[in-house]
Structures are given as structure tokens and as C-alpha cells.
């Protein structure tokens, strides 16, 4: 990567690990969509075959399954039973299953899924809500990442780490296991489902994987842009993300206070019908504010009174320099500095080459652009340009710590790394 002189690459890499797996519903249970008649017929064929086994054979088969999979997942027998319960509406009328029959039947309707086998990229970073173990002069942080597995399905996963007083970074070891949450509440509305998710307290944060759970997300939860939002002394973590159904995209919002329970809500309005929205970390003039790109080319400033409805918008930035002539977009939530709002951007140039730049917005009136980077802060170099999507560096959000900006970024839509920048040098390098 070529870089400006004040950008310090950390030599830390988060790479996809195909050994990390979750269990997910298995076809013919084509979730999250409803089962069609053929699915139900095939499901009942499976049940009939299990019920045709002797009790000894059922026990032997279940023991064999556990020998193969017990150490790879938490509470596997409970998950088998829960899956059988989920499938009950598809089953024909039947007698009471024994406990082992129900567990074995549930196992037939699950599969392992290597959720980050292909890529682990497009990170964002926020301060950890628990700073009790932070090093002196340093801080704990959480990184969110987009993971891609079989079928190009995207999910959301996490890592934790620390920044030391001298600006050096460390990422905590990743948990061996991985788990999906239970759905604690689902409410349907005219804009789609709103869902609430809950992870178990004993699951490490790096175990937690948010996999698509609604029709609008069925092909992916993409590019979450997390921000710690402050409102009257109350802090909430929000992230806009792109929900992809396989047919259409739209922006949705995830919110949490502890990274254990999450609420996912569709966004409304013309500005939410595209991707790449990023929320300011506090209200501006009494309203919520976002950076958005509803026309696939330029950046807009959009306001909302209720956080969930986003209409209109004021044109903020257009492509200006050769490295961004195709289009520009935001690279996460604006970062509040003494000098103004630091907005990281991405630009697309010749041969669809993605680079990362920056703009400085007025703190009171962010529609005023105070400064802008003429050249990218970070761009792909030939030695590190290969990957799932060549010639791309990208981030979904950085954070400030003291006099530095911590920048996690993805390389060629494949893996992620980190850099830090001195704020004073970054501001000095931007043109007015």
C-alpha cells in the first residue's frame, strides 16, 4: 500500500478462517422464506425415515452425530431440539416424538456453515462499552466485520482489542466456537420485520455472529457502519448496514448498548433506498444526521427527527479529483474533532480502483466543507492488490483516541488490517 507519511500501518491482519462454523437451517427448510409444498413433503419423508428406525438405531445415530459435531458447537442437543420445534408446522400429524427422536430429527434440518470462509472485510471500530481493563492511557475497542461464506452470503461478526498509550494496537485471540443469537422478538410492519436478537452471556464477543434473519436480509447483512451515539448522557451503539434480499438492497439500522442484545429495524424514506449511510455520533441542531449517497455518485447530508425516516438531503460532496471520478462514498460515521467533523471517504478511479480519502466539515453546520484531501490517504499497491475483488481498500468506520485516528481497513474484499494517523498531520495535509 502506498501511503501518506503520517499514516502508520500496524502489521495486524484479520484473515478469514474456514474452520469457524455455525449451525444454520438446512434445506428443504428454505429459511428465512416459508416452506413450499415440495419442501414440506421432503421434510416429512425425513421424519418418516427416522420414525422407522428402532429406538436403539435412533440412539446409535444420534451418538454418531455427537461424536462428529459435539466439540464444534455450544449446546448442540438443545439446538437440535429447538430446530425440531421450529419445523413442527411443516410436519404432518404424528405421534409424540421421544427425546432422542426429536434430537435426531432436528439434526437432519441443520447444517454447518463456514461463515467467513471467503472473506473477512469492511471493518468498523468503536470504543468498547467496558473500559475497566483498558491499559493506562489506552482504550479497549470493538471491531465489526463483514464475513462471507458459501453462496456469497454476508453476516456480521466481531473482534475486540486494545490501543496502547503509544498508539500500538493488539487484537484479542478469536474464540474457537461461533454462535448465532436467538430471536427474542419479531414484529412485522409495512416496511418489513423488526427483530430483536439475544446472545448468551457466556459467549465471547468474537463468538457472536449475526446471520440474516429476515426476507430483506436473506442474501446478506453488508457493511455495518458502527458509531457510539451520545444523547443527553445516554450512549447507544448504532450501525447502518445494507440489507440484501437477492433482488433488492436497502438500508437498515442495528442498535445495541452491550453487544449482547441487538435490535434490527428497517429504515424508511428515499435516502434509505440505497447503501452506504453513516450516522453522526450526536444530534446536529436537535436532529439526527446522516451522510448518504442516494444517487450512487455523490454524498449528501440528510436529517431526520425520528432516526428511522430519511428523506431528501443536501448535496455535500461531488467527485473532484481523478482518484474519485467514478463515484465517492462515505467510509463510516463522521468523527468529531476540535477542528470539525472528520469524514473519511472512498473514491473509485480508473479500472475500478478504490482508495480512501477524507474531508473536514464545519462542526456547527456540516453542510460546509472546510477542507478535503487532494490525494488518497490509502490506496491499493500492486504488491497487495490481489483478492476476491482486486484493487480495493475500504473501511466502514474509524475512531479517535487522544491525538490519533485508528483506521481499520479491508484489502481487496478479502482480509482486514489496521493503520493509525496523527490528527494534526492529517488536518495539515488537507487542502482548504
CATH of the domain at 272: 2.115.10.20
pLDDT of residue 157: 98
**pLDDT at residue 220 greater than cutoff 80:** yes
Which residue range(s) make up the domain with 108? 21-114
Examine the domain organization and report whether 142 and 214 are in the same domain: yes
- Pick the range with the lowest mean pLDDT from 41-45, 319-323, 396-400: 41-45
| Burial of 209 from C-beta contacts in 10 A (0-12 / 13-18 / 19+) | buried
Rg (the chain; Cα; Å): 23
Under the banding of pLDDT at 50, 70 and 90, the label for residue 36 is confident
CB atoms within 10 A of CB 308: 17
Flag whether 1 is in a domain.
no
The average confidence (pLDDT) of the chain is 94
Cell numbers representing residue 233 in the block:
448522557
Please indicate, yes or no, if residue 370 is contained in any of the structural domains. Answer: yes
Q: What is the DSSP code (8-state) at residue 56?
A: H
State whether 230 and 205 are in the same domain. Answer: yes
- Indicate the number of domains in the chain: 2
Residues 187 and 39 placed together within one structural domain of the fold: no
Query: What is the grid cell recorded at 219?
Result: 442474501
Q: C-alpha cell of 377?
A: 490517504
Percent of the chain with pLDDT over 70: 97
* In the predicted structure, residue 31 carries a pLDDT above the cut 80: no
Distance in angstroms (rounded) separating the CA atoms of residues 25 and 183: 14
pLDDT for position 258: 97
Q: Which of 88, 114, 140 is the last residue of a domain?
A: 114
Whether 157 and 43 map to the same domain: the answer is no
Number of other residues whose CB lies within 10 A of the CB of residue 153: 21
Give pairs for 172-177: CB < 8 Å, separation 24+.
172/206, 174/17, 174/20, 174/206, 175/203, 175/204, 175/206, 175/207, 176/20, 177/72, 177/73, 177/74, 177/203, 177/207
| Residue 403, pLDDT above cutoff 70 | yes
Final residue in a domain of this structure, among 114, 143, 159: 114
Supply the pLDDT for residue 176.
Answer: 93
Do residue 232 and residue 341 come from a single domain? Answer: yes
Can you tell me the mean pLDDT for 206-212?
97
Q: What is the pLDDT of residue 91?
A: 93
Q: Are residues 244 and 366 in the same domain?
A: yes
Residues 48 and 191 in one domain: no
d(CA 19, CA 426): 39
How crowded is the C-beta side of 84, counted as CA atoms within 13 Å? 23
Write the CA distances from 249 to 12, 31, 221, 267, 394, integer angstroms: 32, 19, 10, 12, 19
Residues 101 and 123 in one domain: no
Pairwise pLDDT comparison (63 vs 41), residue with the higher score: 63
Q: CA–CA separation, 282 vs 336, rounded Å?
A: 9
252, part of any domain: yes
Cell reading at 196:
430483536
Stronger pLDDT, 413 or 431, i.e. the higher one: 413
Cis check for the bond before 32: say yes or no (omega within 30 of 0). Answer: yes
Peptide bond into 347 cis (omega under 30): no
Average pLDDT over residues 367-383: 92
* Residue 292 CA: distances (Å) to CA of 128, 240, 313: 26, 11, 8
| pLDDT band at 1; cut points 50, 70, 90 | very low
Under 8 Å CB-to-CB from 128, ≥6 apart: which residues? Answer: 134, 139, 140, 141, 142, 160
Least Cα distance to 106 among 179, 185, 24 occurs for: 24
Whether residue 29 has pLDDT greater than 50: no
Last residue of a domain, one of 70, 93, 114: 114
How confident is the model over 419-428, as a mean pLDDT? 95
Cell numbers linked to 168: 500500538
pLDDT tens, residue by residue, 124-157: 999 999 999 999 999 999 999 999 999 999 999 9
d(CA 169, CA 34): 45
Give the integer Cα–Cα distance in Å for 219 and 232: 37
* pLDDT value of residue 34: 67
Which three cell numbers, joined as nine digits, stand for 147? 464475513
- Are residues 415 and 279 part of one domain? yes
Please check whether residue 2 lies inside any domain of the structure: no
The answer, as to whether pTM is greater than 0.75, is yes
In the prediction, which pLDDT does 380 show?
A: 87
Neighbours of 346 (CB within 10 A): 25
My answer on whether 137 and 103 are in the same domain is no
328 is a domain residue: yes
CA distance 217 to 266: 10
Residue 342 reports pLDDT greater than 90:
yes
| Burial (CB count <10 Å: 0-12, 13-18, 19+), residue 296 | exposed
Taking 70 as the threshold, does the pLDDT of residue 180 lie above it? yes
The verdict on residue 34 lying in a domain is: yes
Check whether residue 73 and residue 178 sit in a common domain.
Answer: no
pLDDT in tens, 73-115: 999 999 999 999 999 999 999 999 999 999 999 999 999 999 9
Q: 122 and 60: one domain? A: no
Pairing state between β 182-189 and 335-336:
unpaired
Amino acid at each position: 500500500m502506498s501511503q501518506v507519511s503520517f499514516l502508520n500501518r500496524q502489521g495486524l491482519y484479520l484473515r478469514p478462517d474456514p474452520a469457524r462454523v455455525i449451525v444454520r437451517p438446512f434445506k428443504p427448510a428454505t429459511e428465512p422464506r416459508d416452506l413450499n409444498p415440495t419442501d414440506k413433503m421432503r421434510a416429512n419423508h425425513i421424519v418418516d425415515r427416522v420414525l422407522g428406525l428402532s429406538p436403539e438405531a435412533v440412539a446409535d445415530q444420534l451418538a454418531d452425530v455427537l461424536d462428529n459435531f459435539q466439540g464444534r458447537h455450544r449446546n448442540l442437543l438443545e439446538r437440535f431440539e429447538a430446530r425440531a420445534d421450529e419445523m413442527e408446522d411443516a410436519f404432518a400429524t404424528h405421534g409424540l416424538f421421544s427425546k432422542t427422536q426429536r434430537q435426531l430429527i432436528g439434526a437432519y434440518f441443520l447444517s454447518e456453515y463456514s461463515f467467513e470462509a471467503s472473506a473477512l472485510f469492511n471493518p468498523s471500530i468503536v470504543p468498547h462499552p467496558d473500559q475497566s481493563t483498558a491499559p493506562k492511557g489506552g482504550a479497549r475497542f470493538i471491531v465489526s466485520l463483514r464475513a462471507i461464506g458459501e453462496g456469497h452470503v454476508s453476516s456480521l461478526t466481531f473482534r475486540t482489542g486494545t490501543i496502547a498509550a503509544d498508539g500500538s494496537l493488539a487484537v484479542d485471540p478469536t474464540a474457537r466456537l461461533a454462535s448465532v443469537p436467538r430471536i427474542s422478538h419479531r414484529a412485522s410492519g409495512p416496511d418489513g420485520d423488526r427483530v430483536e436478537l439475544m446472545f448468551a452471556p457466556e459467549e465471547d464477543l468474537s463468538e457472536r455472529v449475526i446471520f440474516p434473519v429476515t426476507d430483506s436480509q436473506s442474501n446478506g447483512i453488508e457493511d455495518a457502519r458502527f458509531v457510539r451515539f451520545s444523547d443527553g448522557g445516554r450512549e447507544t451503539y448504532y450501525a447502518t448496514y445494507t440489507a440484501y434480499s437477492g433482488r433488492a438492497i436497502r438500508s437498515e439500522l442495528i442498535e445495541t448498548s452491550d453487544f449482547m442484545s441487538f435490535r434490527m429495524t428497517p429504515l424508511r424514506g428515499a435516502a434509505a433506498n440505497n447503501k452506504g449511510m453513516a450516522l453522526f455520533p450526536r444530534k446536529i441542531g436537535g436532529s439526527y444526521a446522516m451522510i448518504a449517497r442516494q444517487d450512487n455518485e455523490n454524498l449528501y447530508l440528510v436529517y431526520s427527527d425520528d432516526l428511522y425516516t430519511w428523506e431528501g438531503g443536501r448535496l455535500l460532496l461531488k467527485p473532484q479529483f481523478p482518484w474519485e471520478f467514478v463515484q465517492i462514498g462515505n467510509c463510516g460515521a463522521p468523527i468529531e474533532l476540535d477542528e470539525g467533523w472528520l469524514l473519511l471517504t472512498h473514491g473509485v478511479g480508473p479500472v475500478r480502483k478504490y482508495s480512501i480519502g477524507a474531508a473536514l466539515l464545519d462542526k456547527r453546520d456540516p453542510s460546509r466543507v472546510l477542507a478535503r484531501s487532494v490525494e488518497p490517504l490509502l490506496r491499493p499497491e500492486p504488491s497487495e492488490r490481489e483478492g476476491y475483488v482486486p484493487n480495493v481498500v475500504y473501511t466502514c468506520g474509524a475512531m479517535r483516541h487522544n491525538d490519533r485516528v485508528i483506521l481499520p481497513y479491508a484489502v481487496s474484499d478479502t482480509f482486514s488490517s489496521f493503520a493509525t494517523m496523527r490528527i494534526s498531520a492529517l488536518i495539515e495535509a488537507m487542502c482548504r
